[in-house]
Amino acid sequence: MTRAISLHDVSKAYARGPRVVDRLSLDIAPGEFLVLLGPSGCGKSTVLRMIAGLEQIDEGELRLDGEYANELAPSERDMAMVFQNFALYPSMTSRDNIGFPLRIETPGEDPRPRVDATARMLGIEDLLERFPSQLSGGERQRVAMGRAIARHPSAFLMDEPLSNLDAKLRNHLRAEISSLTRKLGVTTVYVTHDQAEAMSLGDRVAVLRGGVLQQVGTPRSVYALPRNVFVAAFIGTPRINLLRGLVRAPLDGAMTISLGKQYLRLPEPLCLDHQLLRVQQGREVIVGLRSEAIRIAKPAAARPGEVVISGLVEHVEFQGHEVLVHFNTGSRPAVVPELEAPRPARPVRRRRREGSVIGRLRERAGVLRAGPVDTLDHAAVAEPDLVPPEGRLPGDLVVRTTPDIELRHGMQVPLLVDIAHLFVFDQHGERISPAPARLPDLDE
- Mean pLDDT for 438-443 is 51
Write down the pLDDT at residue 359.
55
Residues 123 and 192 in one domain: yes
Structural domains in the chain (count): 2
- Mean pLDDT for 390-404 is 78
> 205-232 in b/e burial notation, b at 16+ Cβ within 10 A?
bbbbbbbbbbbbbebebbbbbbbbbbbb
Using CA atoms, how far apart are residues 141 and 183, in angstroms rounded to an integer? 19
Residues 256 and 203 in one domain: no
Residues 215 and 234 in one domain: no
Which residue among 193, 224, 255 closes a domain?
224
Residues 147 and 255 in one domain: no
Does the residue 160 lie in any domain? yes
Write down the pLDDT at residue 85.
82
Does the residue 315 lie in any domain? yes
Per-residue CA distances from 204 to 28, 216, 263, 321 (Å): 9, 7, 36, 28
Does the residue 371 lie in any domain? yes
Residues 170 and 245 in one domain: no
Residues 142 and 249 in one domain: no
Q: Which domain holds residue 131?
A: 5-224
Does the residue 440 lie in any domain? no
Which residue among 194, 224, 254 closes a domain?
224
Give the alpha-carbon dihedral of 175, 176, 177, 180, to 10 degrees.
120
Give the alpha-carbon dihedral of 167, 204, 363, 11, to 10 degrees.
-90
> 397-410 in b/e burial notation, b at 16+ Cβ within 10 A?
bbbbbeeeeebeee
Query: Is the model more confident about 290 or about 392?
Result: 290
Write down the pLDDT at residue 306.
94
Using CA atoms, how far apart are residues 397 and 419, in angstroms rounded to an integer? 15
* pLDDT averaged over every residue in the chain: 85
Name the residue type at position 283. R
Residues 167 and 122 in one domain: yes
Residues 91 and 116 in one domain: yes
Edge-to-edge strands of the sheet including 67-68? Answer: 19-28, 5-13, 59-64, 67-68
Which residue among 172, 199, 224 closes a domain?
224
The closest alpha carbon to 57, from 6, 117, 96, 130, belongs to 6
Strand-pairing partners, residue 216, are 206
Does the residue 33 lie in any domain? yes
Going by C-beta distance under 8 Å and a sequence separation of 6 or more, which residues neighbour residue 58? 11, 12, 13
User: pTM of this prediction?
Assistant: 0.83
Identify whether the C-beta of residue 182 lies closer than 8 Å to the C-beta of residue 176. Answer: no
Q: What CATH number has the domain bearing residue 204?
A: 3.40.50.300
- Mean pLDDT for 288-300 is 94
Name the residue type at position 29. A
Using CA atoms, how far apart are residues 1 and 214, in angstroms rounded to an integer? 31
Residues 353 and 214 in one domain: no
Residues 201 and 288 in one domain: no
Residues 151 and 245 in one domain: no
Write down the pLDDT at residue 370.
54
In tens, the pLDDT along 211-264 reads: 999 999 999 999 999 999 999 999 998 999 999 999 998 888 889 999 988 999
Does the residue 438 lie in any domain? no
Residues 11 and 133 in one domain: yes
Strand-pairing partners, residue 34, are 189, 204
Does the residue 444 lie in any domain? no
Q: Is the pLDDT of residue 358 over 50?
A: yes
% residues pLDDT > 90 (the chain): 55
- Mean pLDDT for 147-161 is 90
Write down the pLDDT at residue 385.
35
| 183 pLDDT tier (thresholds 50, 70, 90) | confident
| 171 pLDDT tier (thresholds 50, 70, 90) | confident
Does the residue 210 lie in any domain? yes
- Mean pLDDT for 331-338 is 76
- Mean pLDDT for 114-128 is 90
Q: Is the pLDDT of residue 376 over 50?
A: no
Write down the pLDDT at residue 320.
87
